[in-house]
Amino acid sequence: MSIPEESARIGVRGDRNAETVTFLADQYYDGQDFSQKTWFVEVLNAEEEYDICAANAVLDTSTAKLSLEWLVGPRHAIADGKVSVRLRATENDSFIWQSYTGTFTIEKTFNEGAILPEPGLSVADQVLIELRRANDNLESAQGMIDQSVAAAETSASAAGDSAEKAEEVEENVTKLIEEHGGIPGPAGSDGTTFTPSVDESGILSWTNDGGKVNPDPVNIKGPRGDGDPQNYEYSGRDLSTIFTAAQLHEAVVAGNFSKIRNGDYWPITLNGTIKDYASGETKTLSNAVFKLEANIQVYKQYGDTAVPNHILFCSRDLLPWTLMFRSENTTWYDTAETNPWLGSHLYQTLNNPSNGLLPLVAATDIGAYIYAGPNGNGMRFLGETKGPAATTATGWAWADRGKLFLPSEREVWGGDTWSEHGYGGGLALQWPIFAGTMRHIIKGLGNVGSRSHWWCCSSPAGSSGYICYVSSYGNPHTSGATHTWVGAPVCFLFS
């Protein structure tokens, strides 16, 4: 709020409603009609006493300007010095807008001439002014005091000795104060109750039952602490109630995970048929629900082609039927592959672009953002080299992992129990949702189904015909690749 120099001095100490200051404001600002708002003037007088009073708003429709009038009251001019003023607009008791703070001056005297005495004040008047400065509540007794002063002045005129009568009035007022501890005023009304509330984003706001102006809202949310309250004590939030799939994609690409925690989830429903490449059967999904649980930035910058910002999603429970890893323990679907996972029938069951699980997942809202990797077949990973007849890994190599994949034994447990200790460690980081608890490791066959074994992508040391899996009892184990009682989760990178 800009205060012109010629209007910066607005009165003399002791003025009582002697000056009106008018401010001009545009009718429309930031898409709002300010002529429909309730206006107040906030004042901090020279003695740093706060007051708020209503401003009279007058609209000039020809210029679309508001004239906001402020009547300079006795509390505002109680002392000479600087007076700070700010305009505030509200609607239904809610804060809408406020101006910058401007500064006015209350002069001790008029601009020219000698210092003037207090105008026409008897001793009793001066006593009453001091009383008003000491206790604003005595204003309610102003009528009583004015009557006493008038009677004193009348008596003084009749007697020809106003000084003696003024002293008598002063003594009476002093006696009244001594007897009652002050001049009694009317009983006050109950005070205003201000009630705070905090929303999910950490904004503290106020309401009150007295029609007062509420304090400005303020964000009291601090930075997120280290770690997440996931696993055994955290059931996760449904991210689809916070984001659309496109909004989640934008946040992840930007690396903004402020509203996402490890263990939050995105629900999907799958319908359709897929081919089980190990058994040759067609399997059907009908309104199959999966809660895809979030792991944030697990592979950030990993690989011979660096993985970008992402969420690793893995289903809370398994597909609703068991699946063989291979049709025979040592029969690979892709005989050109030397990695046990990439050459398996289960890899095809999950990733075949025509009749595997992948097309059904990709058709969901979140599936549109499955990370394709540099070659269209998912992220790059360092996998063990171990052909169909091998008993031990002979090395490791970078390869495309598949858009849908299974975790390695180490990614589940944080270390190797059955898998290759050396070349089986290319994926050596435990996923956050598996840390510290069995809650997310033990999975059901289908959504909230009975607990079931489920496959990992690792082969055990000493064999390529066996595969590591998670037991329904909650321990790492291994079995032949043709076992029919092991399930599979749905896992992929979202980016």
Contact 490, 315 (CB under 8 A): yes
If one counts every other C-beta atom within 10 angstroms of the C-beta of residue 495, the result is: 19
Contact 104, 21 (CB under 8 A): yes
Mean pLDDT across 17-42? 85
User: 155 and 90: one domain?
Assistant: no
Task: Give the three-state DSSP class for 6.
Answer: helix
pLDDT tens-digit map of 160-197: 555 666 677 677 767 766 666 665 666 767 788 989 99
What CA–CA distance (Å, rounded) separates 260 from 224?
Answer: 11
Instruction: Look at 212 and 150; give whichever has higher pLDDT.
Output: 212
CATH number where 20 lies: 2.60.40.10
Task: Give the three-state DSSP class for 274.
Answer: strand
What CA–CA distance (Å, rounded) separates 37 from 58?
Answer: 12
Boundary residue ending a domain (50, 78, 107): 107
Residue 197 lies in a domain: no
Looking at the predicted structure, is the pLDDT value of residue 111 above 90? no
User: 257 and 393: one domain?
Assistant: yes
Instruction: Look at 317 and 114; give whichever has higher pLDDT.
Output: 317
User: 71 and 128: one domain?
Assistant: no
Average pLDDT over the chain reads 84
User: 91 and 129: one domain?
Assistant: no
User: 91 and 132: one domain?
Assistant: no
Beta strands (DSSP E) in 216-279 are: 218-219, 265-275
| DSSP H or E run through 68 | strand 65-72
What CA–CA distance (Å, rounded) separates 280 from 299?
Answer: 34
The domain of 263 spans: 234-494
pLDDT tens-digit map of 457-491: 999 999 989 999 999 999 999 999 999 999 999 99
Looking at residue 238, what DSSP letter applies? B
User: 242 and 341: one domain?
Assistant: yes
Provide DSSP, 443-485: EEBSTT--EEEEE-SPPBTT-SSEEEEE-TTSSEEEEETT-SS
CA angle 399, 405, 408 (to 5 degrees): 80
If one counts every other C-beta atom within 10 angstroms of the C-beta of residue 225, the result is: 7
Boundary residue ending a domain (58, 78, 107): 107
Looking at the predicted structure, is the pLDDT value of residue 50 above 90? no
User: 66 and 135: one domain?
Assistant: no
- Determine phi and psi for 153, rounding to 5 degrees: -65, -35
pLDDT tens-digit map of 149-168: 565 565 555 555 556 666 77
Please report how the helices 142-159 and 123-134 are oriented relative to each other, as an axis angle in degrees rounded to 10: 170
What CA–CA distance (Å, rounded) separates 391 from 347?
Answer: 21
- What's the structural domain count of the chain? 3
End-to-end C-alpha distance for the chain, whole angstroms: 48
User: 132 and 11: one domain?
Assistant: no
Contact 467, 455 (CB under 8 A): yes
- Determine phi and psi for 226, rounding to 5 degrees: -65, 140
Strands 476-480 and 203-208: what pairing? unpaired
What CA–CA distance (Å, rounded) separates 446 from 442?
Answer: 12
Residue 227 lies in a domain: no
What CA–CA distance (Å, rounded) separates 117 from 108?
Answer: 11
User: 440 and 380: one domain?
Assistant: yes
